Amino acid sequence: MTRGWGLRIYALIYLVFLFAPIILLPLFAFNSGKIIAFPLQGFSTTWFEELWTRTTLHQAVQNSLIIAVSVATLSTVLGICAARAGALDDYPFKGSMIGLVMLPLVLPEIILAVALLVIISKVLGISPSLWTIIMAHVLICTPYATAILNGAFQNLDKSFEEAAMDLGESRWGAFRLVTLPLVMPGIISAFLIAFIISLDEFIIAFFLSGNVTTMPVYIWGLRRQSDDLPIIMALGTILVTLSIALLIIAEFFRRRGMRRAGIKDTGGLL
Partner 1 sequence: MAGGSFMSTGGRRSLLLLLPPFVYAILLMAVPIGAVIAISFTGPDGFSLANYGAVFSEPINVRGVVRGSLETGDLSWTPGLLPRSVYVSVAVTVATVLLAFPVAYFISFHVSPSRKSLWLFLITIPFWTSYLIRIFLWKVILGFSGVINSALIGIGLIDEPLTFLLYNANAVIITLSHAYAPFAILPIFVALEKIDRSLIEAAQDLGENRFTTFLRVTLPLSVPGIVAAVLIVFIPTIGDYVTPELVGGSGGLLIANRIQSLFLQVNDPGLGAALSVVTMAAVALVSLIFVFTCRRWLRSRS
Partner 2 sequence: MKPLISLRGVQKYYGDYHALRGIDLDIMPGEFFSLLGPSGCGKTTLLRTIAGFEDVTSGTLTIDGKNMKGVAANLRPTNMVFQSYAIFPHLSVAQNVGFGLRTDPRSKQDKAKAVAEALEMVGLGGYGVRAAHALSGGQRQRVALARALILKPKVLLLDEPLSALDKKMREQMQVELIRLQRNVGITFILVTHDQEEALVMSDRIAVMFEGSIGQLADPETLYRRPNSRKVASFIGKMNFLPGRIAAMGETLTVEVAGLGQSEVAAEQAPGGTAVGDTLIGIRPETLAILFPGETTDRRTVEGVVDEVVYYGDMTYYDVKVPGIDVPLNLSMKNLIGRPVLDVGAPTKVIWDERSLVVLAH
Chain residues binding partner 2 by CB under 8 A are 157, 159-160, 162-170, 177-178, 181-182, 260-263
Site string for partner 1, 26-55 (x = CB under 8 A): --x------xxxxx----------------
Question: Shortest approach of partner 1 to residue 16 CB, angstroms?
Answer: 11
For 33-67, b/e burial (b = at least 16 CB within 10 A) is: eeeeeeeeeeeeeebbeebeebeebeebbebbeeb
Q: Name which of partner 2, partner 1, none residue 157 binds, using a CB cut-off of 5 to 8 Å depending on partner kind.
A: partner 2
Which residue in 66, 129, 200, 210 binds partner 1 (CB under 8 A)?
200
- Which of 144/153 has CB closer to partner 2? 153
Return the amino acid letter for 216: P
Instruction: Return the biggest CA–CA distance within the chain.
Output: 71
> What DSSP character marks residue 126?
P
Site string for partner 1, 209-238 (x = CB under 8 A): -------x--xx--x-----x--x--xx--
Reported in sequence order, the residue ranges of the chain that DSSP labels E, i.e. its strands, are: none
d(CA 255, CA 248): 11
Site for partner 1 in 82-141 (CB under 8 A): 82, 84-86, 88-92, 94, 97-98, 100-101, 103-112, 114-119, 122-123, 135-136, 138-139
Nearest-CA neighbor of 116 among 209, 37, 31? 209
139 versus 183: smaller Cβ distance to partner 1: 139
Which of 31, 63, 146, 213 touches partner 1 by CB under 8 A? 146
| CA–CA dist 253, 230 (Å, integer) | 35
* Residue 184 C-beta: closest distance to partner 2, Å: 9
Neighbour tally for 32: CB within 10 Å: 13
Minimum distance of partner 1 from residue 8's CB (angstroms): 6
- Nearest residue (CB) to partner 1, 167 versus 242: 242
**How far is the CA of 249 from the CAs of 37, 159, 235, 245, in angstroms?**
34, 31, 21, 6
CB nearer partner 2, residue 162 or residue 227: 162
